[in-house]
Amino acid sequence: MTRVRWVVLLAVAALLASAEAYFVTDSKKVSLNSDVHSTRFRRINDDEERAGVSVSIIEKAKAALLPSASAKKLTKWLNKGKSVDEVFVRMGLKKVAGAKLFQTPQLFSWARYVDDLGKKAPAKAPTMIPTLTAQYGDEALARMIAAAKVSENADVKKLASKLELEQLYAWATKGKTPDEAFALFKLSKAGDDFLSTPQFTTLTKYLKVFNSKNADKETTMIATLVKSYGDDKVAKILQAAMKVPETAPTAQKLDTELVQLWLANRESTDAVFTLLKLDKAGDTLFSNPLLVTWTKYMNAFNQKQKNPNNRASLAATLAAHYGDDGAAAMLKSGDVRNILTKIKPGENLFENPHFVTWLQFVEDPRRSRMALSLMTSLTVKYGDEALIKMIDAAKTVAKTKDMATKLQTQQFQYWASIGKSPDDVFKLYELNKAGDKLLSNPELTTWKSYLNVFNKQNPTEQTTLVATMAKTFGDDVVVNMLEAAKKVRGTSRDAKRLESVQLQRWMKMEPDDVFTALKLDKAAENMFDSLQLNAWGKYAAAFNEANPDKKVSLIATMTTHYSDKGVVGLLAAAKKAPGSEAIATRLQSEQLQYWLSIKKSPTDVFKAFKLDKLDDKLLVSPYFSTWIKYTDDLFKNSDKLSVVFKTMRYYYSEDALVKMILAAEKNPSTQKIAQWTEDKLFRGWMLTGSPSDAFRGLKLDEAGEKVFEAPLFAYFTKFMARVTEGMREKDAMVVSAMSVGMGDEALAATLIAAKKVPSTEKIATTMQAEQIKYWLKNKDMTPEKLFKDVLFLDDVDTVLTNPVLNTWATYLQAFNANKPVKEQASMIQVLRNSFGDKMATDLETALLSRLSPRF
């Protein structure tokens, strides 16, 4: 068995060897000077484990035996459209270590093959990057390209530059972020002079490519650097780079972009001071290079402030972070005297002698600016929440109560001066978590004290407890909270007073806005037994009293938010709910009155009641009788009947309406409405149309020869009986309507066919006789006109087989019976006028034979 395997392998080797010839490219051997490899990129380990290019086993075998390809073979592969991956392997490139790839001539042959393959199908042109990435990986390939770019060989540099651009576009297409590229380039390990590295240059290119491919994720170099290094480190690197001639222009540009980034993010000067960690600089602050960056930002920040009081200064910022005295000392000599640095972690603030002394010092009204500076420093150090807890705890201890109360006053003054809203302070005291027990919460008293301070210092922005509650919880929740508080003895009075304040606040709003604020626009059928609807009702009453010229109603407001059809549905659902039936019934009546007041058309009301979707259930719907009453009320002094009929006819065909009537007549409970509707339908036909319109409306004109058997024909005759009541020639009226509805020729043919059916023979015979009479009454209806223009018998090929010919012959005989001999028409003359003498003679002979013994 082993011997057989060896024989097979040798045969394959021989076959491949004879088929392939080793090819040495005409180009001179390309080499990379190892001396110019960048020290910033690691060499590729020849034994590096790779994902590799996926090709067939046969292709790998061929590659193992045939390390290169001839120009002829490349052309053959190109004609066959052999994939880039397959040719990569067949040319032996899969075996080439990364560090030697650009020294291999086959790489350039393969590159030309990829280009030529792309020219064959430009829309699907391949690139080298997917294959190389699969073989070496993104990071290794990037290092290989970077090393090749600094080669002394022009061809190597050109190919490397091309591959670099293709790799960047491939990354951008896959959505690789600039942050990921930053990590891949290992720029975080490049040191403070990374601006001079090739990696930074490549990253700059990639940013342009990425932004062009991902407009919705566009970013900047400075944003990428800040995210990776942090604000303070980036600023420090840029300050150092600006001192180096080679990197100064780039660093200056990025430094400006850093300032613009902070401005775009609306960072305060204090926030940037902290971002740059200048608040930790201590006595090294003035020798810190980042102070230059901060000063640059402060100047840019101040240029955007229209109000001079909002502009920052170095002194004020130092005071905010180091205290007034500390700032003064720092500005004078750089010596740091921050009172808060003397407070040890965990030490009680109010028991620290330095702090007590400082607090007593700033109690003097003349030092209000210092007091604010103190609060700024305390807030920076502890934060608002922690400081509140410290003050509250100190107020519970007798020896620190006064001091804590004074500090709380300073805190309120500070908050008001920086414009901290009562809404924000409400949350700081966690009153947003108090629920129904808000009015009994002791912190609410403290918050009210701040509210008074804020309103005094901000007269144009004054607010109320109710306004803050509404903003925090929502008006709908506030209604529930006040209702609950009214049931508690200790809070009942306050709750009633706040209800009054809430109503006054709403009086400054539009009814629709109050409706929305109470979430009634989302409550649907649940609104009818809600406290919120009751509250809105009280508001509406007050609003109407104050605004008699623009009164509002619940129905009108509901319609604005739910639509007519929506309100109808809500009221229908509410009538079925326990406890809301009475109000729903009342509102249904108000809805009709509202529609009458705005003269809403019957068509719109018909649709609001969804009567256009009921089909054969229309007449049994309770909304139908309501709609009829609405129409009567709307058109008291005009043609109501016509409006009703037109509306019903607009949404339903007449045959559909008749089917509804017939169905409703079978039910004793709906017989009355069926009769009423039938009366309206009949009267509508009589007023707005003709019997033939009724005939067509019932689609009897489409019944053909079976018209007398059609279910609705009996209904048509019922209508005709109503029309011809008191008339003598009732059948003649029916024939007239059918003639107009169907056409004389069709009716004649129908009557002939119906006479052959036992059940319709009698009526068809009667109708046929009436049709003859109908024609005879028309003085202009000569036998020739009837023959040619009415019955269309002037077709020589069909005249003898047309059943209507018998009807015409009957008419001819009747016509001549009432005429003197001189005025009588002859069959031969009609035929001659229609077909010529010879044909007429032949036809007459055939006709006389067929019609004998009549003629």
Kindly write down the DSSP assignment for every residue of 563-584, as one continuous string. Answer: HHHHHHHHHHHHHTSTTTHHHH
Assess if residue 294 is contained within a domain: no
d(CA 697, CA 691): 10
* More confident site: 131 or 43: 131
Cα Rg of the chain (Å, integer): 50
Q: Has residue 424 got a pLDDT over 90?
A: yes
Assess if residue 23 is contained within a domain: yes
Q: Has residue 575 got a pLDDT over 50?
A: yes
Q: In the chain, how many domains are there? A: 2
Assess if residue 139 is contained within a domain: yes
Q: If pLDDT is split at 50, 70 and 90, which confidence band does 538 have?
A: very high
Q: Has residue 470 got a pLDDT over 80?
A: yes
Range from 24-28, 588-592, 847-851 that averages highest in pLDDT: 588-592
* More confident site: 317 or 51: 317
Assess if residue 30 is contained within a domain: yes
d(CA 253, CA 261): 12
Q: Check if the beta carbon of residue 405 is closer than 8 Å to that of residue 447.
A: no
Assess if residue 232 is contained within a domain: no
Q: If pLDDT is split at 50, 70 and 90, which confidence band does 340 have?
A: low
Mean pLDDT of the chain: 77
pLDDT of residue 371: 58
pLDDT of residue 479: 94
3-state helix, strand, coil in the chain (%, to 5): 75, 0, 25
pLDDT of residue 45: 35
> For the segment 783-830, what is each residue's pLDDT rounded down to a tens digit?
888 888 777 877 877 887 788 888 888 888 888 887 888 888 888 788
d(CA 129, CA 126): 9
> For the segment 243-254, what is each residue's pLDDT rounded down to a tens digit?
888 888 888 888
> Of 155-169, 315-329, 673-687, 688-702, which range is least confident?
315-329
The total of other beta-carbon atoms located within 10 Å of residue 347's CB is 11
* Token couple for 827: 């069959």
Assess if residue 116 is contained within a domain: yes
Cis peptide before 711 (omega within 30 of 0): no
Assess if residue 301 is contained within a domain: no
For helices 671-688 and 654-665, the axis angle rounded to 10 degrees is 150
d(CA 223, CA 241): 18
pLDDT of residue 34: 32
Q: Has residue 338 got a pLDDT over 60?
A: no
Q: Among 158, 174, 190, identify where a domain stops.
A: 174
Q: Among 174, 197, 229, identify where a domain stops.
A: 174
Among the listed residues 485, 489, 495, the one whose alpha carbon sits nearest the alpha carbon of residue 465: 495
Helices (H), 20-104: 57-65, 71-80, 84-90
* More confident site: 451 or 29: 451
Q: Check if the beta carbon of residue 317 is closer than 8 Å to that of residue 269.
A: yes
The owner of tokens 């700059």 is: 204
Contacts of residue 429, Cβ cutoff 8 Å, sequence gap at least 6: 388, 443, 444, 446, 447
d(CA 501, CA 578): 33
d(CA 133, CA 146): 15
* Token couple for 1: 């068995």
> For the segment 396-410, what is each residue's pLDDT rounded down to a tens digit?
888 778 878 888 888
* More confident site: 630 or 689: 630
Among the listed residues 699, 536, 556, 673, the one whose alpha carbon sits nearest the alpha carbon of residue 618: 673
pTM for the whole structure: 0.46
d(CA 571, CA 583): 9
> For the segment 104-144, what is each residue's pLDDT rounded down to a tens digit?
888 888 888 888 888 877 877 788 888 888 888 877 888 88
Q: Has residue 544 got a pLDDT over 80?
A: yes
Segments forming the whole domain that contains residue 19? 1-174
Q: Check if the beta carbon of residue 339 is closer than 8 Å to that of residue 325.
A: yes
Q: Among 137, 155, 174, identify where a domain stops.
A: 174
pLDDT of residue 58: 43
**C-beta pairs of 530-537 under 8 Å, 24+ apart in sequence:** 531/479, 531/480, 531/483, 532/476, 532/479, 535/479
pLDDT of residue 216: 83
**Angle at alpha carbon of residue 42, lines to 37 and 46, rounded to 5°:** 95
**C-beta pairs of 262-271 under 8 Å, 24+ apart in sequence:** 262/297, 263/297, 263/300, 263/301, 263/304, 268/301, 268/312, 269/294, 269/297, 269/298, 269/301, 269/312, 269/317, 270/312, 270/317, 270/320, 270/321, 270/380
Assess if residue 465 is contained within a domain: no
> Of 94-98, 345-349, 439-443, 828-832, which range is least confident?
345-349
| pLDDT > 90 in the chain, percent | 12
pLDDT of residue 42: 34
> Of 290-294, 414-418, 589-593, which range is least confident?
290-294
Q: If pLDDT is split at 50, 70 and 90, which confidence band does 74 have?
A: confident
Residue 776 exposed, middle or buried by CB count within 10 Å (0-12, 13-18, 19+): middle
Q: Has residue 854 got a pLDDT over 80?
A: no
